[in-house]
Each structure stands twice: as C-alpha cells, then as structure tokens.
Amino acid sequence: MCAVMSDTQPPKETIDVYTVLLVMTEQMASIAWQKLGLQADLATGTVAKDLDQAKVAIDVVAGLAGFLQTKLDDEDQRRIRNLISDLKINFVQQSGGSS
C-alpha cells in the first residue's frame, strides 16, 4: 500500500528567473558599494577601494536591470534606475572626477 504524502508536503515551486535576477542585482550593487570603498566588505569587515572591480559591478547591475525592466512595476523600476544612477555618480566621485 502506498501512502500519499501531498497533504503533508508543501507544493514545490519553480524558480522564477526574474526573482533570481533581482536578487543578483541587489547583491552585485552591494559589491559595487564595497568596491567603491563606501561600505565595509561583509566577509572581512574592512573598507578597501577597487575602482576597476566597482566599474564591472556597476556595469553588471545595469545589464541585469535591462532584463528586469519589463517585469518590474513603476516603483521598482524607479528604484533600480536610482540605484544605478547613485552608483555611477559615486563612481565618478571616487575616481576623482567632477561631481
């Protein structure tokens, strides 16, 4: 006799690629802030500037945002655009450019 276990186990959900992209965007933005030298590294607790890596991280955030644009509501689209703008402005400031 086989017992049916569907009553005790929650249904399995498939992975939504856009949810994963949003999480990746937020994680990469956090790395960008760290590499800009504006936030402590979560692993080491130290603050260190690496503008080459910061630029890559910012570019990745902008690239991922492009895939998300049509899947986000207006508020989240604005939040992501502001995030990218803030990262770019801080990159210019940290690299000695004009503000």
> Do the Cβ atoms of 72 and 62 come closer than 8 Å?
no
The residue-averaged pLDDT of 63-71 equals 94
Q: Reduced to 3 states, what is the DSSP secondary structure of residue 9?
A: coil
The residue-averaged pLDDT of 14-39 equals 96
> Do the Cβ atoms of 51 and 35 come closer than 8 Å?
yes
C-alpha span between 49 and 39 (Å, rounded): 9
Q: pLDDT tens-digit profile of 73-94?
A: 999 999 999 999 999 999 999 9
Task: Say if residue 48's pLDDT is above 70.
Answer: yes
Assign 61 a pLDDT band (cuts: 50, 70, 90): very high
Q: Percent of the chain scored above 70 by pLDDT? A: 91
Confidence at residue 36, expressed as pLDDT on a 0 to 100 scale: 98
